[in-house]
């Protein structure tokens, strides 16, 4: 009997979610239902510029959601808008044998359903603490900050046997710096200055499909 070995992955594509894979910031969509969107946007903007510690900023934003009904999550999932080219990029990557992952400072409760529909292989994100159908204003489990994003990328690379040269990471904010630095190709998508300065590639156009030639180039590193 012949034992078939798993086919090695062509590469690893890791993307941030808020304002990268999606056009929106998930926590701001949730905050709108609580009537605190402006306050949350202000904190988010400062964090993405690198002016605030990400974990501290996340806790501050989630605290503003205390008491909100869990049912709003379905409404938020219904209005998610993938960035132009994002779904096509994932489709092409998967057809070419790439492992795909979303690594986000956002939330599983909002992201997971879309990721499953698209066929994303791995999702790593935060989780809201919800008790008796209402937000407590806290997160549960470890916070997915910049260091956690990098560690996730490295863990997935080891798991799938992908060398750094065939890893492409995409993001837009300061908390993506470590993840992009650990990838063979780091792509800053419509990004804040704090991320542009460490990126290998900067995309300012509206479509994530502009990243596809970078995946093709990375796949050539064998």
Written in H, E and C, the secondary structure of the chain is CCCCCCCCCCEEEEECHHHHHECCCHHHHHHHHHCCHHHHHHHHHHHHCCCCCHHHHHHHHHHCCCCCECCHHHHHHHCCCECCCHHHHHHHHHHCCEEEEEEEEEEHHHHHHHHHHHCCCEEEEECEEEECCEEEEEECCCCCCHHHHHHHHHHHHHHHCCCHHHEEEEECCHHHHHHHHHCCEEEEECCCHHHHCCCCEEECCCCHHHHHHHHHHHHCCC
Q: Is residue 112 among the annotated active site residues?
A: no
Question: How far is it, in rounded angstroms, from Cα 115 to Cα 15?
Answer: 12
Torsion of CA 193, 194, 200, 205, to 10 degrees: -40
Q: Which among 149, 79, 156 has a CA at the least distance from the CA of 113?
A: 79
Q: What's the pLDDT score for residue 7?
A: 61
pTM comes to 0.93
Q: Is residue 16 among the annotated active site residues?
A: yes
Residue 180, sorted as left (phi over 0), alpha (psi -120 to 50) or beta, turns out to be alpha
Residue of 16, 121, 145, 176 marked active site: 16
Question: How far is it, in rounded angstroms, from Cα 24 to Cα 26?
Answer: 6
Listed as ranges, residues in the chain with pLDDT below 70 are: 1-7, 222
**For the chain, which domains are there?**
11-219 (3.40.50.1000)
Q: What's the pLDDT score for residue 47?
A: 85
Q: Which two tokens stand for residue 15?
A: 């993307």
Q: What's the pLDDT score for residue 201?
A: 97
Contact 154, 164 (CB under 8 A): no
């Amino acid at each position: 009997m012949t034992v078939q070995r798993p086919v090695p992955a062509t590469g690893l594509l890791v993307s941030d979610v808020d304002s990268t894979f999606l056009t929106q910031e998930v926590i701001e969509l949730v905050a709108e239902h609580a009537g605190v969107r402006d306050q949350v946007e202000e904190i988010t903007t400062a964090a993405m510029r690198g002016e605030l510690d990400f974990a501290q900023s996340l806790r501050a934003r989630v605290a503003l959601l205390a008491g909100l009904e869990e049912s709003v999550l379905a409404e938020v999932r219904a209005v998610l808008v993938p960035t132009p080219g994002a779904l096509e990029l994932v489709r092409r990557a998967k057809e070419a044998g790439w492992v795909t992952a979303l690594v986000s400072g956002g939330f599983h409760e909002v992201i997971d359903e879309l990721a499953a529909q698209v066929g994303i292989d791995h999702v790593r994100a935060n989780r809201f603490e919800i008790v008796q159908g209402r937000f407590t204003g806290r997160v549960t489990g470890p916070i997915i900050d910049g260091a956690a994003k990098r560690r996730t990328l490295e863990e997935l690379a080891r798991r799938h046997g992908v060398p750094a040269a065939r890893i492409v990471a995409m993001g837009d904010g300061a908390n993506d710096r470590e993840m992009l630095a650990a990838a063979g190709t780091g792509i800053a998508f419509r990004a804040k200055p704090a991320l542009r300065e460490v990126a290998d590639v900067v995309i300012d156009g509206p479509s994530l499909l502009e990243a596809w030639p970078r995946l093709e180039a990375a796949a050539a590193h064998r």
